[in-house]
Amino acid sequence: MTWRTPVVILIFGIVIMMVSFGTRASFGLFLQPISDDFGWGREVFAFSVAIQNLFWGLSQPIAGAIADKYGSGRVIAVCIALLALGLYLMSQVTTPGELTLTAGILVGVGLSGTSFGVILAVISRSVPEHRRSLFLGIGSAGGAAGQLFMVPLGQSFLSSYGWMTTMALLAAMVLATLPLAFALTGKRSAAQAATASLRAVEQTLGEAIHEARNHRSFIYLTTGFFVCGFQLAFITIHLPAFIVDNGVAASMAATALAVIGFSNIIGSYCAGVLGGRMTKKNILSAIYVLRSVIIAVFILSPISEVSILIFAGFMGFLWLSTVPLTSGLVADMFGVRYMATLFGIVFLSHQLGGFLGAWLGGYLYDLTGSYDVVWWLSVVLGLISAAFHLPIDERPVTRPALARS
């Protein structure tokens, strides 16, 4: 259809990501009210979000593979419905098991088709190679904008209506994006198809997965992305409680997450632009080093409104700047044909890190009464991830031209 242009795909994809990712980014606001309402320790909510990260990661390659094989629109639509259902049912929970089923499993699976993995692959396939990094940067920045808008909105709903009504309202907002999914079918352009035919014969999905898992740079990239998930999940879920623990008003938690969201827009766009001009692996390595430095300075400094805002601004700039670079490396090395699947595998590692960061934060807090161990673990892991990215070979994989009968 002629109206389904790259710009339309980009805009519709951004709107879906803004609402879904922005809603997910607001989950840290609910840790204390839900825990206090039911008299649970912080580990209960943290564990449900850890399960969310795990199911998000496990279902991401599956959602990507289905989207690559049968089309993205249906996958995105089904996941929007699952995400909305999970959010609504969260408003009805009364037990930890119900919270794990709704906030953990349903929301996690729903996010696999409504956030960056599948949608960025559609955006990537809609444009020629020379514009890919820019569009990925704009898409990531636009999706990241959801945190800027949805977190303050969630805090406003929370203050006015309580957490149960807020969850129902967020579910309705997610469901309202459903019609947009049918524009995101994602076909390769003629230029991309010609490029693919020059590089190598068309692969099967199984061949693409086998090729990637035996490629050393793919292993480095996947391992390094684990750390991104650990850091972001821990900060998203536990920063609001950490702020209140240090005697700062709860409203500052929403402000900090919104500042992260604003800086995130700039950082994601800049990463996309730089990724088209510089070596992506070196930019990624620098991002992880800078994250470690920023976290270390933050936890060594007196906690105040000023230090929180400074931390949020710098950390936000580096927040999702890894996404256009990491997804771009997957496309550069292996092409865009099975990008949703391969990035889904990389993203699974990210979510395993997210599981550990979200859960460990709650577990160690309940055990020790402090987040210090997890903060410092985030610093060390950031430096390790920086080292893993340095030996990555960004060149496209050379494939033999095989004949098929």
Any idea where the domains of the chain sit in the sequence? 6-185+202-389
Rounded average pLDDT over 329-351: 85
Q: pLDDT-based confidence at 201, cuts 50/70/90?
A: low
For the chain, give the percent of residues with pLDDT over 70. 94
Fold of the domain spanning 6-185+202-389: Growth Hormone; Chain: A; (1.20.1250)
Proportion of the chain above pLDDT 90, given as a percent: 46
65: three-class secondary structure by DSSP: helix
Mean pLDDT value of segment 125-129: 78
pLDDT average, residue stretch 51-57: 89
| pLDDT score, position 87 | 96
Asked which of 30-39, 177-186, 359-368 is least confident by mean pLDDT, the reply is 177-186
Q: Which of 57, 111, 76, 53 is nearest to 345 (CA)?
A: 57
pLDDT at 178 over 60: yes
How confident is the prediction for the chain on average, in pLDDT? 87
Report the pLDDT value the prediction gives residue 364, as an integer from 0 to 100.
93
Kindly tell me if the per-residue pLDDT of 299 is higher than 60: yes
Query: Does residue 199 surpass a pLDDT of 70?
Result: no
Q: How far apart are the first and last CA of the chain?
A: 33
Residue with the larger pLDDT of the pair 131 and 287: 287
Ordered DSSP codes for 39-63:
T--HHHHHHHHHHHHHHHHHHHHHH
Q: For the whole model, what pTM was predicted?
A: 0.77
Between 93 and 194, the more confident residue is 93
> Which residues have C-beta within 8 Å of that of residue 39, sequence separation ≥ 6?
none
Query: Which band of pLDDT confidence, cut at 50, 70 and 90, is reported for residue 402?
Result: very low
Q: DSSP for 103-149, please give it.
A: IIIIHHHHHHTTSHHHHHHHHHHTS-HHHHHHHHHHHHHHHHHHHHH
Residue bearing the bigger pLDDT, 132 or 149:
149
Cβ-Cβ contacts under 8 Å for 296 (sequence gap 6 or more): 379
Question: What is the model's pLDDT at position 225?
Answer: 94
